Amino acid sequence: MTIKFTDKVAIVTGAGAGLGRSHALGLAARGAKVVVNDLGRDGQAPESALAVVKEITNLGGEAIAHGANVADMDQVQDMVDQAMSKWGRVDILVNNAGILRDKTFSKMTIEDFKLVVDVHLMGAVNCTKAVWEIMKTQEYGRIVMTSSSSGLYGNFGQSNYGAAKMGLVGLMNVLAQEGRKYNIHVNALAPTAATQMTEGLITPQMTELMTPESVTPALLFLVSEGAPTRTIVGAGAGAYAVTRIFETDGLWLAKEDQTPEGIAANWDNLMSTDNQKELMIAGDQTLKFVQKAAEALGIDLNSEFGVK
């Protein structure tokens, strides 16, 4: 089945170049009307965003540019208002805008830490908040947070970036639950492309494969009508994977062993991957721990508390 976005309206932040540009062009090529956002001055779209709009319109598509700073809620609201005024709906939001201020934590200023968090995390919060009620009313919405392996797994010199990118996973987890009954699907994309950190690790030939265009198919899938929700998809160089957060099965410790020494003595068992599971909501962990305690103490949770 061909994935199309006919009559859908999409906002792509940070779309003047790189991944954002590729996403905007990919959406437009499949029929979406696109707001091409990139940071300008005084709310005016920069040349980069206008150039992407021209690419789209030259191919027969519809697009407008907007220069909102995603960290400024008033500017974000103006962007969404313009989309609504022109097309009357917003179906897709791609939170792609971002910046880097890389330094080791020792050398990083608090200002640079906050700036990166404001753009990546709060920028996504602002844009999502501005479209959330629209999508609820429509009973349709597809939102993608742009996460990163730097947040999922860590990367030297990127404490600010990694914290923001992992924060987006937490935001996705909650909004996917809150949006489910309104047919709002919220996912995360963890892209990788040729950067300075890959120099010396891969050959120039492989670097040529790590294009924005090789990532965009994953984005298009995650904002399609048949998209999953609460899913992290990694993409790069034409390869794709799903990241999941698992919790080991663990074990219950008797009262006398509920000490740091008791945990140390049982560490290998706690680390065992046997029967580990992907927990879907926070309450799954609570229920699991209570069930382990009840089983060890001979308490029937069903008869005592109605817990199955």
Asked if 223 and 184 touch (Cβ cutoff 8 Å), the reply is no
In CATH, the architecture of 9-243 is 3-Layer(aba) Sandwich (3.40)
pTM for the full predicted model: 0.94
Q: Which of 140, 161, 182, 240 is an active site residue?
A: 161
Which residue's entry shows tokens 């899913």?
231
Question: How confident is the model at residue 294, as a pLDDT?
Answer: 93
pLDDT at 195: 60
- Got the DSSP string for 92-150? EEEE-------B-TTT--HHHHHHHHIIIIIHHHHHHHHHHHHHHHHT-EEEEEE--HH
Contact 13, 37 (CB under 8 A): yes
Q: What angle do CA 187, 23, 3 make, to 5 degrees?
A: 70
Annotation says 140 is catalytic: no
pLDDT for the residue 48: 95
Q: Are strands 239-243 and 232-236 parallel, antiparallel or unpaired?
A: antiparallel
The domain locations on the chain are 9-243, 246-305
What does each C-alpha distance from 77 to 104, 174, 186 come to in angstroms?
35, 22, 20
Query: pLDDT averaged over consecutive 10-residue blocks of the chain (308 residues)?
Result: 97 96 98 96 86 98 97 98 98 97 97 98 99 98 98 96 98 98 98 70 84 96 98 97 97 98 98 96 95 92 63
Residue 207's pLDDT is: 84
Integer Cα distance of 199 and 71 in angstroms: 31
What is the predicted pLDDT for the residue at 199? 65
Q: How many CB atoms lie within 10 A of CB 256?
A: 7
